[in-house]
Amino acid sequence: MSASPRHPSSSGQPLSERTLALASVALAVYLVGLVLSIAGNSVSGSSPLIRTITQRLFSPWMGPAWLDLGFDHPLTYGLPEDADHALEVRGFEAKGSPLRLPGDRTGERSARWRRLARQIALADADEAAIPLVVGIGAGAFKAVGTADVSVRALRWPLEERGAAPQTPRPVKPYEARVRRVDGEVQLIELGGEAKRGELAPVLRDQPAGSGSVEGKAAP
């Protein structure tokens, strides 16, 4: 005599109709908010009513879902600064092997070095890149084996459509000399696309035990 299969009983109480109705309303409001966030952020324009609703009611949902970026997501505009960038540090007298960044690094580490190289390559319009060049040059003194190095930003131009494939040759949009003289780290720009006068010194070494680094204004 076989026993009939028993169905497991649910230990929890079923949700009430009021709870289900509230959940349905909340879900509907959330979906409407997502739709309005997308519609109100279109580059083609939208009504002031939708923009107001989006900014006042649904703006907290746009950031986490990256819905505040609009629909303009080009891989590249084909401009020179969109090309790959890298850094090269070598002795100013061209002694020893150069230090290349990102070199063999991959993934996010490589991407960070390339972004840094791009920012330095655009140094003509960004004065904030000068401390970056000084930091990279001074930090590479030991690795390169000399306290007088040149820091170069290299750029590989984008290939033109329909052009015959060829080995790309990098151009040098920015180059600077970083050296230590009498305990002071100096930067001298050597040209490239960015052309400004000499800036020296920009950093002074402190004796042991000092808790801060004294900066010296450039002339």
- Mean pLDDT, residues 72-87 taken together: 76
Mean model confidence pLDDT for the chain? 74
- What pLDDT was estimated at residue 177? 94
Nearest to 100 by CA among 119, 115, 111, 113: 113
- What pLDDT was estimated at residue 6? 54
User: Where on the phi/psi map is residue 192: left (φ > 0), alpha (ψ -120 to 50), or beta?
Assistant: left
pLDDT beyond 80 at 192:
no
Sorting pLDDT into bands at 50, 70 and 90, what band is 130?
A: confident
**Comparison of pLDDT for 219 and 51, the residue scoring more:** 51
Question: Is this prediction's pTM over 0.75?
Answer: no
Beta strands at 99-101 and 148-156: parallel, antiparallel or unpaired: unpaired
- What pLDDT was estimated at residue 158? 79
pLDDT digit string, tens, across residues 17-57: 888 999 999 899 888 877 766 666 555 555 677 667 666 76
Nearest to 153 by CA among 174, 133, 124: 174
Helix and strand tally (H, E) in the chain? 6, 6
Per mean pLDDT, which range of 40-54, 93-107, 192-206 is the poorest? 192-206
